[in-house]
Structure 1
């Protein structure tokens, strides 16, 4: 699974659960336009760590922000938890390892963490096969 696939799955889940609210990727500005409405999502970090020679841990942290500081629905944290606790990435469900609701600069946000373990599948090598040798009679060249 790639980071882009995970980000797309989060956007799809937010759109599905909040169909009447604009869902957009974060623009990267620290202070969004005060007139902005809706929800933004942003990848905070992505990390790939090797556990063994063939096993890796992928960690992703996302920030989900509610843009209206004056109009925060009371049920918003619960709805975000429900939407993002388990997401579907191309038919495979992934469960968040941590969901945290907090307020930063009067802007509510949810931090969502997904951690997956992956195994590198090596190509199977062709096994050595038995070679059978049979003695054959050589005919003389003069015959």
Structure 2
């Protein structure tokens, strides 16, 4: 699974669960445009760590914000938790390893973490085959 696939799955999940609310990809870490309404999401970080020679851990952290900080629906935190706890990435469910609310400059944001373990599939090696050896006689070149 790629980071783009996971980000697309988050966008699709938000769109499906909040059909009447604008969903936008945040374009940078700066404060969002005050004219925008609805929900923004953005990738905060991604990391790939090797556990063994053939096993890796992918970690992704996302930020979800409700842009109308003075008008937050009472059910929004629970609805976001429920929507993002398990998401479908191209037919495979992925469960968040952590969901938490934080306040940054008096603006609430939901941090969502997804962690996946992946295994590198090695190519199948050709097995050794039986080698047949026949005795041969070497003849001298002068004969």
Fold shared per TM-score above 0.5: yes
SS in 2 for 1:126: coil
CA displacement at 1:102 relative to structure 2: 2.0
TM-score normalised to the size of structure 2? 0.90
Task: Give structure 2 stretches of 5+ with no counterpart.
Answer: 136-143
SS in 1 for 2:47: strand
Match of 2:2 in 1: 2
CA displacement at 1:133 relative to structure 2: 5.1
Q: Deviations over 1:41-80 (max 9, x none)?
A: 0000000000000000000000000000111001111000
- Consecutive aligned runs of 4 or more in structure 1 exceeding 2 Å deviation: 131-135
Alignment of 1:123-134 (within 5 A): 123-132=123-132
CA displacement at 1:103 relative to structure 2: 2.0
Distance 1:54 1:20 in 2: 44
RMSD: 1.5
Alignment of 1:1-143 (within 5 A): 1-132=1-132
Distance 2:121 2:28 in 1: 37
For this pair of structures, how many residues does the alignment match? 136
TM-score normalised to the size of structure 1? 0.90
